[in-house]
Amino acid sequence: METFPPVAAAIDAWKAALGADAVIDDHRALERYTRSVCATTRQVVAVLKPTSLEAVQHVVATANAHKVPLYPISCGKQWGMGSRLPVKDGAAIVDLGGMNRIIEVNAQYHYAVVEPGVTQRQLLDHIKRHDLPLMLNVTGSTSDTSLIGNAMDRGVGYFDSRAHGISNMQVVLGNGETIQTGFGHYANATTKNLYHHGIGPSLDGLFQQANFGIVTAACIDLMPKPDSHLAAIIKIDSEDKLPQLIDALGVLRTRGVFLSVAHVGNRERSYITLAPLLYEQLVQSGEPAGEATRNKAVKMLEDGGFGPWSAAIGILGTAAQIKLAKKEIRKAAGGFAKTMFLNDGLIARAKAIAGKLSFIPAVRTQLMMLRAVEPVYGFTRGDATDQSLKAVYWAAGDYERLNDPDPDQSDSGLLFCLPIIPACGETVFDVVRDTRDHFAHHGFEAAITVNLMNTKAMEGVVSLAFDRRDAAQTAKAHACIQEMEARYMEQGYPPYRVGINSMHLVVHENDPFWRTVRDLKKVLDPNGIIAPGRYNLV
């Protein structure tokens, strides 16, 4: 890879300031960063690994001096949306994973102040180690994903949008200034982590899905641990009942029966999530590894009633609230769906009984099913897991890598599209059918989740798996996703988040909104240093 003089001078300056070990510019070493599960390539000039605010400030100053663009990542696990890759060629990746201090955890006001390298696992371990009565709004991704990185792209957890729970951001702007949002810029403000907006314009939202600066610390909202917890698993045996299920969940959410995000997945989503866990248990119990045992795992799910669609809901509250919620959910779903309720006590008792009777084949099967469902149950009580990553490999047919922690280094391919859909059963039903037909036209199956985020809107999570070794299949996969995203736009369901290859679908020169975003960029980052092309015209 040719290195032009301004880039070479910038790299020399970064090495002098950060240390040679904190600057990667060897093309072989860069391959780990430039391989992506979405089968996209970008030219990257270097990877910079600052470990402090001062180091980030120097990185930005040097980038401005030499006009070398930067692309900040937290942990780089935005799989299916671009992973670690920038939108455009020629940037230096700023890997913030080494900035991983938990600055403060406050149990009374349930928040944590963290740096961008802090992961779900790290914060949950801290909470457990100090026996704090707190919960985290976990996502369905792996334990080692960044809290700040996910919130900055408006990721959705099992209880709320992550964007709602981040504030008091410390940001190094593209122009070199460092600001604190909310009340954070007042040195003696005791309420800087208690009230998001501060005084004057609220700037927190300005930095989410934007390219104006690098967030080096922020406050993340936590949840007080409730008296009681219950998970409801609702299954329907026919897709024709999906509108009824969606509308029933909407009514329950409107009435306050549950206040978390209801996750509703189709058969394909359920199977790629649960089948690899069953498969591994079967192999551990003595079944031969291979296709026959994989098929057996799928058959177990079919026999277990995981039909066209299943919903998972976490309910938190007092014992009385949980009891009432259980009654209301039974009443709402009783006429058309089967509902299973789980809590820690029920799972412990079931596992104890099944363990004693595991010599009975039917009981042993039920125990395996329970263990497979346990990670999903864990999400509803604020536990993160690494088990969900197996779905990436299972869906792509890369069965030998089920325990590999980084799909970017595998042959598995993964792409997402993420429309926002009205919380209306018939509308969701139409979108689902159209999505499935479109994927089938391109030769793919659509794994679909529709998540009821509030009383009005649902987040669609549509994933496509493919084999990156197959160039023709890879091209078809990208065409399928691009066309599907464009189709959602035409139907009036824009995505709330797009990958690095789809910015052109949502950002338009003739839209005054995006022209205003471009004008803000000129003020906050006049040299266009930070993440060129990311949710912006420049």
Residue 260 has pLDDT above 60, yes or no: yes
CA distance 378 to 493: 31
CATH code of the domain covering residue 280: 3.40.462.10
CATH code of the domain covering residue 167: 3.30.465.10
State the CB neighbour count (10 A cutoff) for residue 405. Answer: 12
Average pLDDT of the residues in 473-501: 97
CA distance 171 to 72: 12
Q: Residue 5's pLDDT is what?
A: 66
| Each residue's pLDDT tens digit, 427-454 | 999 999 999 999 999 999 999 999 999 9
Q: Identify the domain boundary among 189, 208, 224.
A: 224
Q: Identify the domain boundary among 167, 194, 224.
A: 224
Residues 381, 232: one domain? yes
Enter the tokens of residue 7.
Answer: 């880039």
Domain-embedded: residue 438? yes
| Each residue's pLDDT tens digit, 38-96 | 999 999 999 999 999 999 999 999 999 999 999 999 999 999 999 999 999 999 999 99
- CA 445, distance to chain mean position in Å, is 21
Strands (E), 247-363: 262-266, 309-317, 338-342
Which has the closest alpha carbon to 346: 308, 373, 320, 318?
A: 373
Residues 300, 195: one domain? no
Residues 416, 493: one domain? yes
Residue 3 has pLDDT above 60, yes or no: no
Residues 138, 214: one domain? yes
Q: For the chain, what percent of residues have pLDDT higher than 90? A: 92
Query: Mean pLDDT, the chain, as a whole number?
Result: 95
Domain-embedded: residue 116? yes
What number of H helices and E strands is found in the chain?
Answer: 17, 19
Domain-embedded: residue 433? yes
Give the per-residue SS3 of 364-389: HHHHHHHHHHHHHHHHCCCCCCCHHH
Average pLDDT of the residues in 109-113: 98
Q: Identify the domain boundary among 321, 352, 385.
A: 385
pLDDT band for position 511 (50/70/90)?
very high
pLDDT top residue among 354 and 242: 242
Residue 71 is inside which H or E element, if any?
strand 70-73
Give ∠ CA 434-435-436 in degrees, rounded to 5.
95
Average pLDDT of the residues in 99-112: 98
Enter the tokens of residue 315.
Answer: 């309910």
| Each residue's pLDDT tens digit, 316-334 | 999 999 999 999 999 999 8
Domain of residue 435 covers: 410-501
pLDDT band for position 146 (50/70/90)?
very high
- Widest CA span of the chain, in angstroms? 72
Confirm if 41 and 1 have CB atoms less than 8 A apart: no
Domain-embedded: residue 32? no
pLDDT band for position 346 (50/70/90)?
confident
Residues 181, 311: one domain? no
Query: Which alpha helices (H) appear in 192-238, and where do they start and end?
Result: 204-207
Residues 185, 259: one domain? no
Domain-embedded: residue 62? no
Residues 236, 112: one domain? no
Which has the closest alpha carbon to 329: 440, 414, 234, 201?
A: 234
Residues 173, 249: one domain? no
Domain-embedded: residue 2? no
Average pLDDT of the residues in 464-492: 97
Residues 233, 380: one domain? yes
Residues 107, 220: one domain? yes
Rounded CA Rg of the chain: 24
Residues 334, 477: one domain? no
CA distance 307 to 299: 11
Q: Residue 6's pLDDT is what?
A: 86
Q: Residue 357's pLDDT is what?
A: 73
What is the pTM for the complete model shown?
Answer: 0.95
Average pLDDT of the residues in 3-24: 91
Torsion over CA: 214, 217, 219, 223 (sign) = positive
Domain-embedded: residue 294? yes
Residues 279, 330: one domain? yes
pLDDT band for position 283 (50/70/90)?
very high
User: Domain count of the chain?
Assistant: 3
pLDDT band for position 4 (50/70/90)?
low
| Each residue's pLDDT tens digit, 171-213 | 999 999 999 999 999 999 999 999 999 999 999 999 999 999 9
Domain-embedded: residue 530? no
Q: Residue 353's pLDDT is what?
A: 80
Confirm if 51 and 21 have CB atoms less than 8 A apart: no
Torsion of CA 235, 241, 245, 246, to 10 degrees: 130
